[in-house]
Structure formats: structure tokens, C-alpha cells
Amino acid sequence: MVTVGTGRRVLFRYGRDGARLSELLFDGARASFSYDESSGLLRAASVTAADGAASCSVRFRHAGPLVDRQLVRFGDGGDAGGGGGGGGAGEEGHAGARFDYTYDSSFRVTGVQAVVDDTPLPIDLLRYDELSGRLEQFGKFGVIHYDMNQIVSTAAMALTKQLDAQGRVRETQMEVMRSLVFRMTLAYDAAGRVSRREVRLGPGAAGSGGSGGGGGNGTRHAYEYDADGQLQAVSVDGRSAWRYSYDLNGNLHLLNPGGSPRLTALRYDPRDRITRLGDTAYAVDADGFLARRGPELFEYDSRGLLAGARRPGAGGWSVRYRYDALGRRVARLAGAGDRTQFFYADLARPTRVTHTYNRSSRAVTSLYYDLQGHVFALEVSGGQEWYVASDHVGTPLALFDGKGALAKTLHYTAFGEPYLDSAPHVPLPLGFRGGLWDPLCRLVHLAGRDYDPLAGRWAGPDPGLWAGLARRPAPFNPYMFQRNNPVGSTASGDGGAGYMTDVNSWLQTFGFQLHNVIPGFPRPREESPAGPRYELQATLLAEDTIDGAMDCELSRQLRAFTTLDIASFPRRISANELADRFEPAAAPAPPRQRPPSPSSPCGSASERPYFAVPGPSVLGRNVQVAVGADGKISARVAAVFGGGASPAGIGERKVATLLHNAVLLVGTHRTHAVNGTVVHHLVKAGAPDADLAALGLAGGAGDGRQGMLGLSGGGGGRQGGGAGGAGGTGDEGQGSLGSNLEQQQQQQQRQPGMWTRQLVLEDMSTGGTDGLVVLRAQQWLMARVSAGAGGSPSGPARPAPSRRITEVELSGGRLSLRVRYGTSVAEERVRLAEEARQRGAEAAWALEQQRAREGLPGGAPWSDGERRQLAAGGRVPGYQLVPLLPLDQYPELADSPRSYRFVRQSGDATGR
């Protein structure tokens, strides 16, 4: 995965079966994954930081298909298997943890024993209703269901939620020591959106609250929406508090706080990236991630996760974050001693924080969630109990101690910015919508992303946006939060309306939880503002390459039931129908297939074929390409419509001629950093003359009209070229085929035995179909450098052998195929590796120069003088670039600027 803007790169490597992720590499870090050989279940996931120290490892022990132990370790990354302790302090004083699980006969978790920093916590027991599967107990909290209402209670507290006929929360009450301390009532409009919310806290929470506000402790919010369902106005206790307006792209562009006549304007660039909020200047990097907000600086890694933030100068601060191999935030480090860790013990909800650990106080806090997934109770390892009053979307509004005394109240704007905290010294790790709130950088970590409540938008683009649009086309904005309805529910993904659209959602509303009755039944979606970035959730389950007939039929019947379809059973199939299904007429060979995955049961998902890019294919519609295990290509033109040749068949035969018998250098393709073009390299044995003649390029440098490609599906051709046409015929932005190579060769030292480029013989190109397909060829002589009389290349020249190199490029849209003649596969791999290193070094210096000019954190502790020198000239003498990972093992990372670190030269410093 490569970003076009700054060259962020994430390398995914899979195991021998090609189905399970084995390595994830980014920014010099390495995440590794291992699986049980017999069952295929995820056994361990560890991440190694760029400095070589293991930041975090998560290990799972299995009892058959079930996880019965989870171990979290920090530090040296040693084997954590089987140990009885919870893991002592590791790297940077981080604590380890152990979670043990027990199950019943229906494979449901019935107990969780947590040990954090060698501190055992009370066992949390779980009990279910045998008929409906409803949860009846978790930990010390019992659950009672009556009609459409729910009660979660202990001897000291009770949380009651009353639901309406559509399963929406209409009233929430919390009692502590038999005293009502929190009450919230909700009203909805005809579109299912929240229109009113009233909250009462403290001893007067039971008051009805008339127009005058009752006992004085109640707060009433009213919400208005525009025609697009976007939040337009908020009033508090009958007075206008905030008004919002949006542009046509869904960007919030005017704020009217407190009903004042002064408007706060927000400005954006043409790509919907924020540039200013009132008097605060924003800056985002070329990939769209937040880089600066006023004096505050932010740094994101190649996975799109916030690595750190700081505010330089007097009174400044600095905070860093650590993540595990699964992309979950596991630690926050802010200054000496201010360290917080996050643990995830819920196997069914692997992105839910269940425990936090404060290093300075050595206190472990357990978080308990209600049936809607909102935190309502905290229990500290020292025995203290706290109760959290949350609103309908999980935002904490108040904190009560174990006796019901109000310890903390919080007030937010509609988009989640806290503007009043009655007790900042009382820590609460959660914030808007239950995300991890950081009071220093003022960002909320939600579902693996960071949300900026000041601007009411995500701090980076949504990586899963395009997949959702493919399933459900809709207007989109990669930074828009919750379709500009921040007070709406997220369970159904309908912008807050909470519609019940399938049988499973209705069953869940009436208390039937089939996933707790039928093993393997799909779990309903829960409250989350975006899909969790948990890439390996499916790998916790077995992934068989073959699905049994019973499994397929059960899956089909369950899908039919939950979609109100007719659950028909298999019928007898006639011999003729069977032949029609499994003996189709001759057709082109299908693309390579990968084994079925749990997300697509009883079927195979097609793997992305070779040379696949968005847009028209440069191969034409009738060219069939097969790539062998050794990379050798077989290409031919398929017969079409009765065996006759289509009018464009001549051009397709040229393409097949070019690719046939060529060897694809697997693993050397790259994505152009400017225009996103994917470049594949091939080597073809033998002389190029026959192929050049077949391609129509044998007429010489001045014949740019020869070799016009006519691929099926194209329009009128465009001719162009000539001797210098390789740089600009129908493929703007790519430049001459050999321009980059010439620059790189000039930088290399002329060593004896080295082949260097000499005289360019011919430079030929053609136009293409509507300028979409361009064919170029270039030939030059390569001469081997020989030592002179004095043993040096600068001595008297000796006769040196030479050879002719020819390179033919077929490019169109976002794809470029480059075929070389006169060289070997081994030589080309060496050449491409060296070119990649040089591109990576150039890009690293260019990125560092850009950071210096914008005042952003750099890759080295530059002094003020070095930073000025870097910003002006793009180089700092005395520094060299050292690869963070061995590039001979990971050549795909060679041209990534984030794969290197700057090291001051001293003695014989060398890279790994």
C-alpha cells in the first residue's frame, strides 16, 4: 500500500499459502504474525520498532478452536507462552498482562481472569439465557429484561434504560445507593433523529423539569437539521447556543457560537482539507493527515495512526503513542512518569478498551460497558468504584463516586469539544462518543482514527471510504464525521436514524441474541463511528480452504432467515442443468483464485490479477496473459465472435507479441510517486529486432507514425512522436524513458567491470488510441569500464566490450509495462534495486526539506543552523542515510523515504 503524496508505504507479506498475513512493514517497523500449524488460528502478533526493540507482543493460547489465554508483553519480545505471571515491567516501564478465559458447552465465554502488572483482578463471570441467548450477568452486574426495558444493577447501583417501540433509548436513569443521580430523556423527530435531550444530575435528577428548568440542575438541548440531515442549530435551555452551516461538499464552513453576531469561518483547499479555523491556521501533509494546528505539531505513521504530537516553546508539551501489531493503541507517553496503557480483553470486541494502567500510581482500572456499548462503571484495583453517566452516543457527562457523590461534570459542543470540566484533576480516559480523549493534543481516538472536535472532522482521510461507496453509493467527504450529524446514533450506519432494516436487528431489539445461541451466527453491528481498523479479526477464526456441504447449507439458511427470504431446501438438479452449470462453453481462462475466506463463505473471492489498475486496460479486451511460477509470461489473442478477428485485433497481436516469452520481475513493480502510475519491469531474451519490426518500430528514429496501436474499445487514433517523442507523446507527466536512469548513472562511480551507458542509438515512440496507449522504444550501447594502464579507470583507455540494450514501454492510464532486451534477470534486479535506493534517498531528503520549511518535526534532531541549511539547500553535510530494515530482504521498501534514518557520519559508520 503506497500513498502518492508523501510516499508512505506499508508492505504486506503473506505466508506460503498466500492467505494469511505473516509480516507488516512500515517506517522501519516490523509486525509479524504466526499461526497454529494445525488449526490456522492466530497464535502471536508482535511489533518491532524501528530501533530494533520489540514494542509489544500479543500471544494467544488455544484450546481447540477457542482462545483460553491472551498474553500481552512489552520489552524484549521474548517468548510469553505459557508463563503464569502477568508480565512485569518491560520497555520504558510498560506493564504486561494476562487474560484467561473459560467457556460453556455452547462455546460462550463464561469467565475472564485478568492479571495486569502481576496484580490479579476479580474474576468477571458471564451468564446467558439458554433460550434467547441474552446476557444475564457480567462481572458483578446483573441484567434484567422486561418488555423493551433493561436494568443493569448491583446492590449499590442500578442503570435503567427504557426503549421505545423502535428500540431506541428514550430514557436513562442511574441510581446509586438508592438515590437517583442521573436522568436523561430523549425525543425523536419523524426522521428518527434526536430532536430534544434533557439531562439532570445530582439529587434533583428526579424532577420533572418544567419550562423554567425545575430544580435548576437540568439542561435541555434542542437540535435542528437542514434538508440534508446535517445538524444546523443547537439551543440550550431555550437559548440559541450554536449554529452551523456547510458548503456543497459537506464541509463545516461557518460557526456561530453562543448566538453571538461574530461568525467563525473555516477554510478548505480544493481537496476538502482544512486550512484555517477562525484565527487558527491548519496544515495537512500531502496525504491529507493533520500536520499542524496553530502551534501544535502532529506526526502520523504510514499506517495512518497518530505517532505523536507536541507543542514547542515555553509551556509546551509532547506526547507519543504506541500501537500493537493489530493497530490498537496500547500506550500513551507524555513526559516523565505520565504513562498510560490500554488493554483489550474482550475477544468478541477486540477494539474495546477493557483495562487501563497508570504507571505512576500503578493503578489498574477496569471499564464496564452496558448493553449499548457505553461505559457506565469503573473499578480501580485499589477497591474504588466510580459510575459514569453517559449520553445516548456514549459521551461521558458526569462521574460519581461509590456513594453517589458528584465528582466531575463535563459539557461539550455538539461536535464533541469539551468546554467545561468541573474537575480537571479527576482523570477520565474517555471522551466524546466514548473514544480515548487526550487533553494535551485535544484529539479523540475513535475506532482506530483520530477525530478533531475543534473542527468537527476527522484528522485524516477515511481509508475505508471507497469500499463503503462501492456497496452503497452516496455523496462523500473523506473527512466528514457522521454525515455532519454528531448527535445521531451509529449502530445502523444510517446517519443517526437507527432504522431496523433486517430481522437480526429486530431480534436484537426484542432481546434475542442468536450469536449467543448458535455458534458462528453473525454478531450484529454495534455503536461505532467507523469500521474498526482491526485487520486480523478474521484470523482469530479457522480459515479452511474447503467449506463442507453442511456448513454451506447452514449459512444459506441463516442468510435466508435474516433477510426475510424463502428458506428453500436443496432440490434435485437434472443432468442437463448440471452440465450447463459445470461444463460451460469455452471461455478465457479465469484469473488466479485465492482460497475462500470467512467473509465470503462457500465461495472464492477473485484475487486482483496481474497488471490490474483502474481505467481502460492497455492489454485490450482479447489479450490473454498467463504468468508462470518463474515469472515467464505466455500471451495470446483469444478468438472472438466466431473466430474472426476484430477490427482492432492487429494492435492486440502487437501487445501479445511484446509480452510473450518475457519474464516478469515479480516484486519489482512500483507506484509512481507523482501520478500513481504502476510500473512493471520485464526481461526478454534474444535480439529485439523481430519484436520491434512486429511492433512497427523498426523504421528508425524519425518515423513516429509507425506502430500505431489499435486496441479494441478505442476511438480515433492520435499520432505523434518523432525522435524526441518519448518524453511527451500521449503520456504527460512521465517524462523520458531513460531520463531518471541517466541522472542516476551520473551519480554512480565508474568502477572497473561496471557496465555504463554510452551512445543512444534510437529513440522511437508512437501515439495511441485517444492518447491512452503509448508505445515507446529506446536503444543505447552499454560499455564495460576497464582499468587503464595504471589500474585506474582514468588511465589510458583499453578496448572495452559493449552491448546493445533495448527497452520497450507500453503505457496507458495508470499502467506501464517496460520490457528490456540485452540483459539478464539477475542484472536487472540489481539495477532496479540500486535505482530504488537512489529514489528513496532523494525522496527522504526532499521530504526532510519540506518538513524543515514547514517547521514540522524531522527525522533527525537538527540544530537551528542545520534546519535552515536543510530548508535552503535540501542537504546537510556530514549526514548519511541508513536503511531501517535490511533492503536485501525487503526490496519493496527501498524507494520509500520513510525506510531510512539520518545518521551523522563518524568514522566508518555503516548501515545494516
Residue 799: pLDDT band (50, 70, 90) is low
CA-CA distance, 526 to 805, in Å (whole number)?
60
Average pLDDT over residues 711-727: 35
Residue 249: give the domain boundaries. 10-484
Structural domain ending residue among the three candidates 431, 451, 484: 484
Q: What is the pLDDT of residue 16?
A: 81
Q: Identify the domain boundary among 436, 458, 484.
A: 484
DSSP state, 438? E
pLDDT tens per residue, range 178-191:
999 999 999 999 99
Least confident among 14-23, 118-127, 417-426: 14-23
User: What CA–CA distance (Å, rounded) separates 892 from 230?
Assistant: 44
Residues in the chain: 912
Residue 417 falls inside a structural domain: yes
**Residue 338 and residue 320: Cα distance in Å, rounded?**
11
Please give the pLDDT value at position 710. Answer: 40
Q: Are residues 318 and 262 in the same domain?
A: yes
Burial class of residue 111, CB neighbours in 10 A (0-12, 13-18, 19+): middle
Q: Same domain, yes or no, for 711 and 637?
A: yes
Query: Which residue bears the cell 509470461?
Result: 633
Q: Is residue 750 within 8 Å of residue 785, measured between CB atoms?
A: yes
- Residue 733 falls within a domain, yes or no? no
With beta carbons less than 8 A apart as the criterion, state whether 435 and 445 touch.
yes
Same domain, 810 and 869: no
Assigned C-alpha cell, 46: 508482535
334-343, 734-743, 791-800: which range is least confident on average?
Answer: 734-743
One domain, residues 39 and 169: yes
Same domain, 241 and 301: yes
d(CA 105, CA 103): 7
The pLDDT tens digits of the residues spanning 11-30 come to 898 888 778 899 999 988 89
**Residue 562 counted as domain residue:** no
pLDDT(597) > 70: no
Q: 833 Cβ partners below 8 Å, 6+ apart?
A: 887, 891, 894
- Whether residues 812 and 855 fall in one domain: no
Q: Which of 430, 459, 484 is the last residue of a domain?
A: 484
Secondary structure, 3-state, 247-267: CCCCCEEEEEECCCCCCEEEE
437 and 385 within one domain: yes
**Where do the DSSP E strands lie in 569-708?**
623-627, 633-637, 663-664, 670-671, 678-684
pLDDT given at position 86: 52
Whether pLDDT at 476 is above 60: yes
> Worst-scoring range by mean pLDDT, 113-117, 410-414, 720-724?
720-724
* pLDDT at position 865 over 70: yes
Q: 342 and 232 in one domain? A: yes
**Grid cell locating 570:** 436443496
pLDDT at 261: 64
Residue 795 has pLDDT above 70, yes or no: no
Say if residue 872 is in the same domain as residue 813.
no
Taking Cα atoms as reference points, which of 666, 590, 620 lies closest to residue 810?
620
Which pLDDT score, from 0 to 100, does residue 255 have? 85
In the predicted model, what is the mean pLDDT of residues 80-84? Answer: 38
Is the confidence at residue 580, as pLDDT, over 60?
A: no
Residue with the larger pLDDT of the pair 225 and 884: 225
Structure confidence at residue 31 (pLDDT):
92
Distance CA(873)–CA(25), nearest Å, equals 31
Q: Identify the bridge partners of residue 458 per DSSP, sorted by sequence position.
A: 451
Query: Could you tell me if residue 523 is inside a domain?
Result: no
Cβ atoms of 681 and 648 closer than 8 Å: no
Which residues are within 8 A (CB) of 141 and not within 5 positions of it... i.e. 6 or more apart?
Answer: 152, 153, 154, 368, 377
Q: Which of 181-190, 538-547, 649-658, 867-876 has the lowest mean pLDDT?
A: 538-547
d(CA 865, CA 868) in angstroms, rounded, equals 5
Predicted local confidence at residue 621, as pLDDT: 72
| 582 found inside a domain | no
Query: How far apart (Å, rounded) are the C-alpha atoms in residues 866 and 418?
Result: 40
Pick 301 or 565 by higher pLDDT. 301
If you average pLDDT over residues 877-906, what whole number do you get? 86
SS3 9: strand
Beta-bridge partner residues of 812: 815
Higher-scoring residue by pLDDT: 513, 713: 513
DSSP state of 481: S
Identify the three-state secondary structure at position 22.
strand
Cell of 94: 510498560
What confidence tens digit (pLDDT) does each residue in 25-79 have?
998 889 999 998 888 889 999 998 877 666 799 999 999 889 999 999 997 544 3
pLDDT tens-digit readout, 752-768? 445 455 445 555 555 44
Confidence at residue 466, expressed as pLDDT on a 0 to 100 scale: 78
Mean pLDDT of 303-319: 91
Report residue 912's pLDDT band, with 50, 70 and 90 as the boundaries: very low
- My answer on whether 107 and 76 are in the same domain is yes
Q: Give residue for cell 535490511.
A: 886
Check if the beta carbon of residue 242 is closer than 8 Å to that of residue 413: yes
Q: Are strands 54-63 and 755-765 parallel, antiparallel or unpaired?
A: unpaired
- The predicted pLDDT at position 771 comes to 41
Examine the domain organization and report whether 759 and 890 are in the same domain.
Answer: no
What is the model's pLDDT at position 761?
A: 53
| Predicted local distance difference test score (pLDDT) of residue 3 | 74
pLDDT of residue 555: 64
pLDDT at 58: 95
pLDDT band at 290 (very low <50, low <70, confident <90, very high): very high
Sign of CA dihedral 492, 497, 500, 501: negative
In a domain, 676, yes or no: yes
Strands (E), 813-851: 815-821
Q: Is residue 572 part of a domain?
A: no
- The string of DSSP codes covering 296-352 is EEEEE-TTS-EEEEEE-STT-EEEEEEE-TTS-EEEEE-STT-EEEEE---SSSTTS
Kindly tell me if the per-residue pLDDT of 615 is higher than 80: no
**Cα dist from 866 to 237, 310, 860, 905, whole Å:** 57, 21, 10, 14
pLDDT band at 773 (very low <50, low <70, confident <90, very high): low
pLDDT value at position 673? 55
pLDDT higher than 80, residue 2: no
Residue at 433 is within a domain? yes
Number of domains in the chain: 3
Mind listing the pLDDT tens digit for each residue in 653-710? 778 888 899 999 887 777 665 566 788 899 999 888 888 888 777 644 333 333 334 4
Q: Are 803 and 863 contained in the same domain? A: no
pLDDT on residue 154: 95
Return left, alpha or beta for 359; rule: phi > 0 is left, psi -120 to 50 is alpha, else beta.
Answer: alpha
The predicted model gives 572-580 an average pLDDT of 45
Greatest CA span in the chain, whole angstroms? 104
Q: Which residue has the higher pLDDT, 730 or 776?
A: 776
Average pLDDT of the residues of the chain: 77
